[in-house]
Amino acid sequence: MKANVGGIDRIARIGAGVVLVALAATGTVGVWGWIGVVPLATGLTGWCPAYLPFGLNTCKTK
């Protein structure tokens, strides 16, 4: 599993995930807010399986 999510992309995913999960936990947006777990997980791990079929990579090359 090679990292394919980097920098600003990771920060945006983590931020959006936290906001969605928090809104779902407080009952503001309902059950659909728990989908925020997905961007939160991909941001924390640095790997997004949806990027693979499209050959996307937002990590800087080393």
- Domain regions of the chain by residue span: 8-49
pLDDT at position 44 is 97
Q: Which amino acid is at 51?
A: Y
pLDDT tens profile 12-45: 999 999 999 999 999 999 999 999 999 999 999 9
Q: Give the pLDDT mean for 53-57.
A: 94
**What is the pTM for the complete model shown?**
0.89
pLDDT at position 60 is 85
Give the C-alpha separation, 45 to 26, whole Å: 25
Q: Any idea what DSSP says for residue 61?
A: P
